[in-house]
């Protein structure tokens, strides 16, 4: 595997001169070689300045060349797949099949962004030709396009060590936009980060991309804080806890020059079951829900954490099947010891509330066939009533891990009062039959206000990487609901418009020239067209 524990700075793998640390196998508790060196303030500064220097050449590459770079990263990752998945499995405890799927998603994202920038219309070109005869004064020619912001600091997420990490969606969308990336490796999977960084470095060399365009530094929150405050950094992408995300947001906002932070932080993803659905889909709903809560050991941003279930005839059957699903599940390994202890205390904050009953994880549950993981926890759920839910704020907070809270509601009014308790969410899900549709229509406006993605008769886990995806939502699910971190629209986080007034063709970027040599969809005089701009009247 040739892991060295190095940082990637200015195109070279170099030893971090800060503290050293090692990764831990969460299944066995064993320390994994090698040891990694954190980057110092000076090393971070070197990487940031190299990113700044590389920005000017990188952003001016034609889209096709940046696309080749993204595609080369994807190909390099595929050719390094075997050792990568092996190391990643050791560092995260995630099974090879899941990691293989996640790698496919990661390379798929890179290729999707490559296609977007190869095609080029994402730059939202707008052309308003001159009106030389306008009274009282002629109107000048105005043309605008999007250009990249500058170097972006990306924080790796623990729960998707490939798709939301070194070469994940934040990195792919920033590189696609034309921004260099300073990546802070996640300390829970530093070897995975190094292997991916090596793939990126090989792709950069192959495509003659300037060495400063991608850097990777190891470290914890202190290293992250230095990154966010560095003057060369122009934006931040982060996926992680609410506490860490808010700290980054506050640091970015208090800079002499504040910068945008796209942090995806916290969501309980309310799942509403309406009476018709509960009545007709009782067992399938219980089983699907349990599977969604436990998927990836419950460590998905979109895990349904609070489930609103109507009281009535079918409730007992529903809960009995939930009991069965949870009680028959094996203990599930969490990604880190830290996540394990946070899970145990967050779950306790919920289950110790009056009128909250823990279910599913009885001590008589069958022992798992697999050996118990070092970070293993028993999946469980709890049941409460709307009154307790509305009274106790802790019940609407995220418990990161395999745990869900079922809230029984007696009427649409009680459901409405429960909905008032939720903060901003990534997703909101409805289970409904056609008989429930009038209620769905009534609920939709509230759910739209609450969340970035609404799901009907499905489960929120599983985030498709498509242009129509919104993986984002009102605070605290993210720090800016106007953007998504998944799907091709994620590129807009890292770009800004610039307008050219009264420039001759020769001095304009090709995308803005009359002839439209790149065949872009452009907004010409307010109308989207792919045609060339007609020659001005003489």
Of 208 and 499, CB closest to a copy of itself? 499
Residues 6+ apart with CB under 8 A from 143: 125, 126, 127, 128, 499, 500, 503, 508, 512
Q: Rounded to an integer, what distance in angstroms lies between the CA atom of residue 235 and that of residue 244?
A: 16
Rounded least distance, CB 304 to a copy of itself, Å: 14
Of 27 and 74, CB closest to a copy of itself? 74
Rounded least distance, CB 377 to a copy of itself, Å: 26
Interacting residue with a copy of itself among 359, 492, 514, 532 (CB under 8 A): 492
Token pair recorded at residue 296: 């990836």
H-helix or E-strand spanning residue 290: helix 282-294
Among 90, 86, 114, smallest CA distance to 100 is for 86
Site for a copy of itself in 21-60 (CB under 8 A): 56, 59-60
Q: How far is CA 319 from CA 308, 309, 375, 378, 408, in A?
A: 12, 10, 27, 18, 11
Site for a copy of itself in 196-255 (CB under 8 A): 249-250, 253-254
Of 396 and 479, CB closest to a copy of itself? 479
Site for a copy of itself in 258-317 (CB under 8 A): 258, 260
Interacting residue with a copy of itself among 373, 382, 406, 454 (CB under 8 A): 454
Catalytic residue, chosen from 301, 392, 397, 398, is: 301
Residues 6+ apart with CB under 8 A from 407: 306, 307, 308, 309, 383, 384, 385, 386, 389, 395, 418
Of 313 and 468, CB closest to a copy of itself? 468
Token pair recorded at residue 102: 């996640």
Q: Rounded to an integer, what distance in angstroms lies between the CA atom of residue 201 and that of residue 21?
A: 23
Whether residue 149 contacts residue 235, with contact meaning beta carbons closer than 8 Å, is answered with: yes
Site for a copy of itself in 69-88 (CB under 8 A): none
Residue 13 binds a copy of itself, judged by CB under 8 A: no
Rounded least distance, CB 538 to a copy of itself, Å: 20
* Candidate segments 87-95, 336-344, 363-371, 453-461, binder of a copy of itself by CB under 8 A: 453-461
Of 103 and 327, CB closest to a copy of itself? 103
Whether residue 32 contacts residue 90, with contact meaning beta carbons closer than 8 Å, is answered with: yes
Of 284 and 466, CB closest to a copy of itself? 466
Rounded least distance, CB 445 to a copy of itself, Å: 6
Rounded least distance, CB 295 to a copy of itself, Å: 12
Q: Rounded to an integer, what distance in angstroms lies between the CA atom of residue 304 and that of residue 308?
A: 10
Among 163, 194, 90, 84, smallest CA distance to 463 is for 163
Site for a copy of itself in 518-537 (CB under 8 A): 521, 523, 526, 528
Of 404 and 487, CB closest to a copy of itself? 487
Site for a copy of itself in 78-137 (CB under 8 A): 101, 115, 121, 124, 126-128, 136-137
CA 67 from chain center: how many Å?
Answer: 21
Among 152, 111, 139, 143, smallest CA distance to 124 is for 143
**How many helices, marked H, and strands, marked E, lie in the chain?**
15, 23
Active-site residue 392, yes or no? no
Active-site residue 71, yes or no? no
Rounded least distance, CB 491 to a copy of itself, Å: 12
Of 208 and 501, CB closest to a copy of itself? 501
Q: Rounded to an integer, what distance in angstroms lies between the CA atom of residue 395 and that of residue 156?
A: 28
Site for a copy of itself in 343-402 (CB under 8 A): none
Catalytic residue, chosen from 71, 91, 194, 264, is: 264
Token pair recorded at residue 506: 């020769």
Rounded least distance, CB 168 to a copy of itself, Å: 20
Site for a copy of itself in 498-517 (CB under 8 A): 498-504, 506-507
First-to-last C-alpha distance (Å) of the chain: 67
Site for a copy of itself in 421-440 (CB under 8 A): 423-424, 437, 440
Rounded least distance, CB 263 to a copy of itself, Å: 10
Token pair recorded at residue 422: 């939720």
Token pair recorded at residue 159: 């729960």
Q: How far is CA 435 from CA 274, 277, 284, 372, in A?
A: 9, 9, 18, 45
Site for a copy of itself in 148-177 (CB under 8 A): 149-150
Active-site residues, by number, are: 264, 301
């Amino acid at each position: 595997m040739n892991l060295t524990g190095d940082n990637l700075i200015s195109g070279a793998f170099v030893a971090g001169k800060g503290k050293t640390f090692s990764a831990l196998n969460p299944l066995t508790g064993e320390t994994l070689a090698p040891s990694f060196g954190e980057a110092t303030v000076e090393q971070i500064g070197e990487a940031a300045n190299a990113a700044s220097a590389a920005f000017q050449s990188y952003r001016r590459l034609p889209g096709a060349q940046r696309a080749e770079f993204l595609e080369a990263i994807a190909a390099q990752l595929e050719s390094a797949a075997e050792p990568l998945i092996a190391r990643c499995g050791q560092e995260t405890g995630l099974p090879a099949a899941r990691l293989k799927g996640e790698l496919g998603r990661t390379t798929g994202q890179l290729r999707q962004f490559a296609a977007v920038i190869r095609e080029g219309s994402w730059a939202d070109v707008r052309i308003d030709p001159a009106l030389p005869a306008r009274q009282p004064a002629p109107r000048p020619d105005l043309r605008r396009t999007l250009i990249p912001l500058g170097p972006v600091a990306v924080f790796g997420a623990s729960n998707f060590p490939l798709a939301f990490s070194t070469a994940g969606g934040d990195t792919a969308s920033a590189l696609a936009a034309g921004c260099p990336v300073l990546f802070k490796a996640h300390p829970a999977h530093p070897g995975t980060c190094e292997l991916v960084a090596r793939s990126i470095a090989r792709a950069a060399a192959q495509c003659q991309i300037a060495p400063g365009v991608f850097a990777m530094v190891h470290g914890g929150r202190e290293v992250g804080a230095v990154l966010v405050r560095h003057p060369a950094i122009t934006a931040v992408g982060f996926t992680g806890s609410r506490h860490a995300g808010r700290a980054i947001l506050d640091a970015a906002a208090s800079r002499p020059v504040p910068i945008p932070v796209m942090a995806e932080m916290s969501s309980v993803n309310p799942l509403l079951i309406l009476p018709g659905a509960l009545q007709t889909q009782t067992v399938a709903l219980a089983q699907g829900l349990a599977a969604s809560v436990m998927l990836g050991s419950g460590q998905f941003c979109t895990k349904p954490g609070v489930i609103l279930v109507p009281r009535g005839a079918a409730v007992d059957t529903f809960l009995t099947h939930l009991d069965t699903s949870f009680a028959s599940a094996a203990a599930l390994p969490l990604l880190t010891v830290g996540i394990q202890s946070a899970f145990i205390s967050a779950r306790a904050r919920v289950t110790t509330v009056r009128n909250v009953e823990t279910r599913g994880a009885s001590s008589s549950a069958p022992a798992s066939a697999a050996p118990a993981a070092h970070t293993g926890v028993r999946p469980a759920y709890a049941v409460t009533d709307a009154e307790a839910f509305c009274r106790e704020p802790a019940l609407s907070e995220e418990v990161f891990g395999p745990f869900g809270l079922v809230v029984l509601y007696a009427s649409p009014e009680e459901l409405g009062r429960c909905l008032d308790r939720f903060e901003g969410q990534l997703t909101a899900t409805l289970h409904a039959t056609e008989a429930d549709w009038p209620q769905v229509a009534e609920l939709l406006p509230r759910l739209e206000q609450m969340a970035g993605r609404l799901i009907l008769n499905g489960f929120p886990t599983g985030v498709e990487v498509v242009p129509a995806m919104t993986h984002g939502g009102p605070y605290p699910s993210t720090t800016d609901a106007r953007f998504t971190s998944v799907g091709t629209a994620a590129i807009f986080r890292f770009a800004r418009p610039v307008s050219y007034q009264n420039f001759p063709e020769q001095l304009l970027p090709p995308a803005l020239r009359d002839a439209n040599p790149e065949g872009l969809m452009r907004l010409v005089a307010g109308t989207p067209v792919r045609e060339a701009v007609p020659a001005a009247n003489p």
